A and B are shown apart, each in its own frame.
Chain A
Amino acid sequence: MSITIKANIPEGPLAEKWNNYKAKAKLVSPNNRKKLDVIMVGTGLAGASAAASLGEMGYNVKSFCFQDSARRAHSVAAQGGVNAAKNYKNDGDSVYRMFHDTLKGGDFRSREANTYRLAECSASLIDQAVAQGVPFGREYGGYLRNRSFGGVQVSRTFYARGQTGQQLLLGSYQALLRQQNAGKVKLYTRHEMLDLVMVDGKARGIIARNLDTGEIERHSAHAVVLATGGFGKIYYLSTLAMGCNASAIWRAHKKGAYMANPSWTQIHPTSLPQSGEHQSKLTLMSESLRNDGRIWVPNDPKETRLPGDIPEEDRDYYLERKYPAFGNLAPRDIASRAAKEQIDLGKGVGALKNAVYLDFSRAIKEYGQEVIAERYGNLFTMYKKITGIDAYTEPMKISPAAHFSMGGLWVDYDLQTSLPGLFAIGEANFSDHGANRLGANSLLQACVDGYFILPYTLQNYLADEIRVPKIDVNHKAFEETEQKVRQQLEGFLKSKGNKTAEEFHKELGKELYDKCGLLRTKAGLQKAIENIQNLRKEFTENLLVPGDIEEVNSELEKAGRVSDYMELAELMCIDALRREESCGAHFRAEHQTEEGEAKRDDENYCYSAAWEWTGNPSSPVLNKEPLVFETVKPTVRSYK
């Protein structure tokens, strides 16, 4: 039976809520903290910053990641920057404006109080990162430099060349290892969480597989935090890393945690286009390039000239034309959809006609090649490595790619899921970005969740756990959960069909791009659900996985991830089908204005969908968290 859920938002005016919360939150005294264990799954910006901060406070943290080092979490790949309302540019920025931009960018589908808190904590993050030695870009006088990013009119983005994620992550990774050295954090790299263990209604541990030995292990704690990142890899071709997955959150979902707005996926407008069938990923070209690059397609679909030979009058700078106020910096969902529109009109460029031009010739003329090289040098080099083309002399070719999951585990204001003792932070939760995330806001969210929010809210929860002794891994809940995990792995190996997990994944990804991507229709989604059900059936009968459990076995790892994707994909389609409106990245063809823009339905759909697992992937229960706007009145999002 579906219910209306509450987010536990503190009392008081918007700007006071977080302070009120902190003033009243329960505390744990330092000598009690060392009696409490916390499991942190994930070492990206969210997980590393949270684990380090909790370690510094005195908790015992067990930190997990599937890569061979914590430093390799996919946060490392973020290029463009991180937002903060420092107003160093004196250009009218403020916490309120940043909050408003984020809320509007998300098409009024996020929770006001969370979004405000994100903006409120943003300035401290820059202070923290700078103190750690993160080499952000500087002005010649020595002060921090800013640039602007899609969807806003102020310059509030801090950056470290084109490797902002890497540098921020190294900062928090180093803080994490400092706590490892101090004995407060124990690291479990090359470990994959395969299930959540619930004891008497509370999250008390996980089952993990040691990927180097294949051993199945039990780990217990007083609370479990999932910081496992996004699941955009479900589309197979995406800007995510090969190992990114939904398994941790999906298995928590199957234990009762709600999944919120799972279909809201950001399709990034500036990725490199697919070049062939062999392709395993799409590389992102940072959106910051849109600061200086101009996007265009030829007017004539039959155009055959080289880009440099096409005169101005035969080019359509369609973003500048359609959205004069924001031009090339229109928000991502709008920019991606506009690109798709041009590509669908047959104006796409490149061999597969699946791309649009991103042109730097004017910026190079204006500022000189040296300045452009300093701003984006590594991106131009990367472009050359992958395509063999020199973007200083020829425009880049870019196209949309699955990139970021706005959806994720539902969490309340405390970042606690619907399961007591289970928290979700960073991209793994759904909280702050609504139906579309603004560029440079998610590094921020991951960091703010980890450094500044969870340490308070988790402590508030742990304050009632100080009398609970160490959790015993011999409890029957651990025994049973481990058995289930084993059975599933054995099932994959026994199947002995003739299709690899990767082949299934590719098929599933195509289906999602096609019917649950940039453009969604009722009929398409219904068809997708049917196709996914069939594919899932085939997966159980025809999967081929070599080798054994108790050894290094990448194929077995993939099988587990794809098996979860097979179920999640259906929920995404159900979610998209149920939402009879368009908002942000969720664009239903049936719901658009005459000009082809997204048409929201605030009367009926002003809620977050929090789906509940029922045991059957085809019949989840929809719970709703109504979105109440006390401070801002939702308006039609216009970037014209």
Chain B
Amino acid sequence: MKIHLKIWRQKDRQTKGAFKDYTLEDVSKDMSFLEMLDTLNIKLIKSGERPVEFDHDCREGICGQCGVMINGIAHGPLKHTTTCQLHMRSFEDGDTIYVEPFKAAAFPIVRDLKVNRSSLDHIIASGGYVSVDTGQAPEANSIPVTHEQAEAAFDAAACIGCGACVASCKNSSAALFTSAKISQLAQLPQGDKETSKRVVKMVYQMEEEGFGHCSFTEACQVECPEDISVLNIARMNYEYNKARLLKK
């Protein structure tokens, strides 16, 4: 099929960016979206143009490194799918596709479609863990965790850290990402001891990094490739308020 592309090109943070038009004639339906970009890049390189820089690594939907806005939607039209898992069969012959980077104040642009998402790491570093050193662990079965507890914790733990929730939020809030980690650990006996400390630190860090406030539009869950539930945000708010109250 024939595909028209309008891709955001931007040399670096200092330079102004703009959309550029490209057309690909022989796109196969079985290609992934990124393989389509690979094809474009080979064409660009051979014609002496700079290829489009974009982020990706595993190409199987688990590392969270890929992610662009496709026609205004984070990771594109297919629900609960990362950019790398999106295939061209989701498009029609003759379609025009807009491709832009994830945009947020806390995600400064690196080049073209690449952005810097280290701010998400900073949130985890502020408290998204259980404080246990190597060697301190007790026998694994000495802390039973019910099947339901483990499954619920897993649902939250499945976040891949892609940042689509931020990009899809009109406030650029990282509430879904942050709450997923808080919620995972709060639901496990290993992690719940530190919940109140953790939630205060992580929420503080989230603001520090320049992410916006959550106004509960729920756009994030819709575009989240892992379908992380917005109920995690409610739990985070609950834990946060509880921690503040207890502190007073």
Q: Which A residues have a C-beta under 8 Å from some C-beta of B?
A: 49, 52-53, 56, 67-72, 74, 76-77, 86, 88, 124, 126-133, 135-144, 160-161, 163, 166-167, 170, 173-175, 177-178, 180-181, 187, 189, 212, 241-243, 275-276, 278-281, 283-284, 382, 385-386, 388, 451-452, 455, 498, 500, 502-503, 544, 546-547, 551-552, 554-555
Residue B97 lies at the interface, judged by CB distance under 8 Å to chain A: no
Contact check, A133 vs B188: say whether CB atoms are below 8 A apart.
yes
Interface bits B120-151 vs A (CB < 8 Å: 1, else 0)? 11001111111111111111110111110111
27 A-B residue contacts at CB 8 Å?
A56-B134, A67-B63, A68-B117, A77-B63, A86-B140, A127-B140, A128-B135, A130-B143, A131-B137, A132-B130, A136-B150, A141-B144, A142-B146, A143-B144, A174-B130, A177-B129, A212-B110, A212-B116, A241-B63, A276-B30, A278-B28, A382-B61, A385-B87, A500-B45, A544-B46, A546-B51, A554-B53
Contact check, A276 vs B31: say whether CB atoms are below 8 A apart.
yes
Q: Shortest CB–CB separation between residue A316 and chain B, in angstroms?
A: 28
Contact check, B62 vs A76: say whether CB atoms are below 8 A apart.
yes
Residues in B neighbouring A180, C-beta threshold 8 A? 125
Residue B71 lies at the interface, judged by CB distance under 8 Å to chain A: no
Q: Shortest CB–CB separation between residue A385 and chain B, in angstroms?
A: 5
Residue B103 lies at the interface, judged by CB distance under 8 Å to chain A: no
Q: Which of A140, A160, A187, A278 lies in contact with B154, CB distance below 8 A?
A: A160
> Please, how many angstroms separate the alpha-carbon atoms of A67 and B161 in the complex?
13
Residues in A neighbouring B132, C-beta threshold 8 A? 128, 131-132, 175
Residues in A neighbouring B62, C-beta threshold 8 A? 76-77, 163, 166
What size tier do the contact residues of chain B reach?
Answer: 35 or more
Q: Shortest CB–CB separation between residue A145 and chain B, in angstroms?
A: 8
> Please, how many angstroms separate the alpha-carbon atoms of A45 and B144 in the complex?
25
Interface bits B152-180 vs A (CB < 8 Å: 1, else 0)? 01100110110000000000000000000
> Please, how many angstroms separate the alpha-carbon atoms of A546 and B46 in the complex?
9
> Please, how many angstroms separate the alpha-carbon atoms of A126 and B124 in the complex?
23
Contact check, A178 vs B154: say whether CB atoms are below 8 A apart.
no
Residues in B neighbouring A127, C-beta threshold 8 A? 137-140
Task: Assess A140 versus B138: contact at CB under 8 Å? Given A72-B57, A178-B129, A280-B35.
Answer: no
Nearest A residue (CB) for B127:
A181
> Please, how many angstroms separate the alpha-carbon atoms of A498 and B48 in the complex?
10
Residues in A neighbouring B58, C-beta threshold 8 A? 72, 74, 76-77, 241-242
Task: Assess A385 versus B78: contact at CB under 8 Å? Given A86-B140, A132-B190.
Answer: yes
Contact check, A386 vs B42: say whether CB atoms are below 8 A apart.
no
> Please, how many angstroms separate the alpha-carbon atoms of A373 and B61 in the complex?
19
> Please, how many angstroms separate the alpha-carbon atoms of A56 and B132 in the complex?
10
Contact check, B81 vs A385: say whether CB atoms are below 8 A apart.
yes
Contact check, A135 vs B188: say whether CB atoms are below 8 A apart.
yes
Nearest A residue (CB) for B36:
A278
Q: Shortest CB–CB separation between residue B97 and chain A, in angstroms?
A: 17
Contact check, B118 vs A68: say whether CB atoms are below 8 A apart.
yes
Residues in A neighbouring B131, C-beta threshold 8 A? 178
Interface bits B82-104 vs A (CB < 8 Å: 1, else 0)? 00010101000000000000000
Residues in A neighbouring B74, C-beta threshold 8 A? none
Residue B6 lies at the interface, judged by CB distance under 8 Å to chain A: no
Residues in A neighbouring B49, C-beta threshold 8 A? 546
Contact check, B184 vs A135: say whether CB atoms are below 8 A apart.
yes
Nearest A residue (CB) for B81:
A385
Contact check, B57 vs A243: say whether CB atoms are below 8 A apart.
yes
Q: Shortest CB–CB separation between residue B33 and chain A, in angstroms?
A: 11
Task: Assess A71 versus B64: contact at CB under 8 Å? Given A241-B59, A278-B39.
Answer: yes
Nearest B residue (CB) for A141:
B144
Q: Which of A130, A160, A385 lies in contact with B140, CB distance below 8 A?
A: A130
Nearest B residue (CB) for A281:
B59
> Please, how many angstroms separate the alpha-carbon atoms of A67 and B117 in the complex?
11
Residues in A neighbouring B161, C-beta threshold 8 A? 69, 71-72
> Please, how many angstroms separate the alpha-carbon atoms of A68 and B121 in the complex?
10
Q: Which of B89, B117, B134, B160 lies in contact with A388, CB distance below 8 A?
A: B89
Residues in A neighbouring B48, C-beta threshold 8 A? 546
Task: Assess A554 versus B138: contact at CB under 8 Å? Given A132-B129, A276-B28, A278-B35.
Answer: no
> Please, how many angstroms separate the alpha-carbon atoms of A189 and B120 in the complex?
13
Residues in B neighbouring A502, C-beta threshold 8 A? 38, 42
Identify the interface centre among A52, A69, A382: most chain B CB within 10 Å of its CB: A69
Q: Shortest CB–CB separation between residue B88 and chain A, in angstroms?
A: 10
Contact check, B128 vs A177: say whether CB atoms are below 8 A apart.
yes
- Sample of 14 further A-B pairs with CB below 8 A, known A69-B118, A127-B138, A451-B134: A68-B116, A72-B58, A130-B140, A131-B143, A133-B129, A138-B144, A138-B150, A140-B147, A142-B146, A163-B62, A167-B154, A243-B57, A284-B60, A498-B46
Which 3 A-B pairs rank lowest in CB-CB distance, beginning with the nearest? Answer: A142-B144, A174-B129, A131-B137
Q: Shortest CB–CB separation between residue A596 and chain B, in angstroms?
A: 33
Contact check, A144 vs B89: say whether CB atoms are below 8 A apart.
no
Residues in B neighbouring A243, C-beta threshold 8 A? 57
Residue B111 lies at the interface, judged by CB distance under 8 Å to chain A: yes
Nearest B residue (CB) for A552:
B111
Contact check, A131 vs B136: say whether CB atoms are below 8 A apart.
yes
Q: Which of B51, B87, B139 lies in contact with A555, CB distance below 8 A?
A: B51
